[in-house]
Structure 1
Amino acid sequence: MWSDWQWMSTAQVPALTALERDWLLGQGSMTARLKSRSTQFRVQLLGVDDLSLSPHQAQWLGLPTDVTERTVLLLADEAPCIFAKSLWAGPGHPFSGLGEQPLGEKLFDGDQWRRGGIQIAKVRAAELGLDFPDTSLWARCSAFKAEGKPPVWVMEAFLPPIYRLDTL
């Protein structure tokens, strides 16, 4: 599970290109950013699963052991740009019925949800089941918190096509 990867704080991350840094450390909605850099944006739902976390994972994430995991691809002009997984206290959470609607539109709509610190990891595409042979990807995760609610965790792995959307 991605919560077991070797996550680093943003201060611990080795040298990044300016473009990698811009995407990885951006605080705003990736949905909004991809929409602004493409003529067509869509979410491809890969799965929604109820999972049981180990006690260690649940403690690290601040979630109960029974969670829902949603897996999607964010596509800009039909190019897969972000592979994302999100976790929330499940089943029955309001986000469980999102389907192919962007989670980012819910998390960044208003000021109910606040993003915590961003953690960064370098992962192999094969670990995610992605067909980018011999490719290492930068990924980030962060928790979104709202008063009186368990956190919603979002992990985003940045796929090679994303870096062609803009240059600094």
Structure 2
Amino acid sequence: MSRQEFRWKPDPALAGAPTWLRPWLADPGSLTARIVARCDSFEVRVLGERRARPFPDERALIGLPPGRYAWTREVLLFADGLPVVFAHSALAPRDLNGAWHMAQAIGSRPLGAALFADPSICRGPLSAARLTARHPLHRRASAALGSPLPTLWARRSRFCRLDRPLLVTEVFLPDIARL
């Protein structure tokens, strides 16, 4: 994947997102709360939590030097039984015993709820990107669903607690259009 293939943009319109999806991409509030308000049942399905190499564009955002592993968490968010978001979070492993100690114990509870409940956590600006099948997050979302997906749009932002970053990326799946 070349650096020119995609870029994170500060505005969903610049990322080429369809008009109906832009409010989802640009909403500075909790995505979890927005989904819950539009469905009868909400579920978080944890796909994995592990040490892994961060994607190259993530490394600097979470303060890791080249060659170091990140702690990652991937989940699917379901609304009324339909998968609507694939979420990927990354942070420096040393922060699991410090600023982000709650990340290891969150289990199937939504990370977003914890992030927005703690007033000591600050959120940085949102950015959005168009993800083709060549993007690793697109491939991971397709693998999680067990089927190929069309072009997807994602948003991401950095959260800071005690001056330590956590990067959260939310990839919108086709069924988000039903909400």
Q: Mark yes or no: TM-score above 0.5.
A: yes
Over 3 Å counting, the alpha-carbon distance change for 1:105 and 1:123 in structure 2 is: same
Equivalent residue of 2:34, what SS? helix
The root-mean-square deviation of aligned C-alpha atoms, in Å, is: 2.7
For residues 46 and 123 of structure 1, the distance between their equivalents in structure 2, rounded to whole angstroms, comes to: 20
Q: Give structure 1 stretches of 5+ with no counterpart.
A: none
Q: Are 2:47 and 2:75, in contact at CA under 8 Å, matched by a contact in 1?
A: yes
Q: CA deviation at 1:116?
A: 0.6
Indicate the residue corresponding to 1:128 in structure 2: 140
Compare 47-56 and 29-38 and name the one that shifted more. Answer: 47-56
1:155 maps to 2:155: no
Compare 35-44 and 116-125 and name the one that shifted more. Answer: 116-125
Q: CA deviation at 1:60?
A: 3.9
Q: Are 2:61 and 2:158, in contact at CA under 8 Å, matched by a contact in 1?
A: no
Equivalent residue of 1:10, what SS? coil
Equivalent residue of 1:97, what SS? coil
TM-score of the superposition, structure 1-length normalised?
0.83
Over 3 Å counting, the alpha-carbon distance change for 1:35 and 1:62 in structure 2 is: same
Q: CA deviation at 1:90?
A: 1.7
Q: Which has the higher strand share?
A: 1
> For 1:28-47, what aligned pairs fall within 5 Å after superposition?
28-47=29-48
1:139 maps to 2:142: no
Indicate the residue corresponding to 2:78 in structure 1: 75
1:96 maps to 2:104: yes
Number of residues of Structure 1 aligned to a counterpart in Structure 2: 163
TM-score of the superposition, structure 2-length normalised?
0.78
Q: CA deviation at 1:69?
A: 0.2
Equivalent residue of 2:164, what SS? coil
Equivalent residue of 1:8, what SS? coil
Q: Are 2:61 and 2:165, in contact at CA under 8 Å, matched by a contact in 1?
A: no
Compare 81-90 and 119-128 and name the one that shifted more. Answer: 119-128
Q: 1:116-161: per-residue Cα shift (whole Å, max 9, x none)?
A: 1111111135522414535000011110112x24111000000111
1:58 maps to 2:70: no
Equivalent residue of 1:151, what SS? strand
Q: Are 1:115 and 1:145, in contact at CA under 8 Å, matched by a contact in 2?
A: yes
> For 1:1-16, what aligned pairs fall within 5 Å after superposition?
6-10=7-11, 13-16=14-17
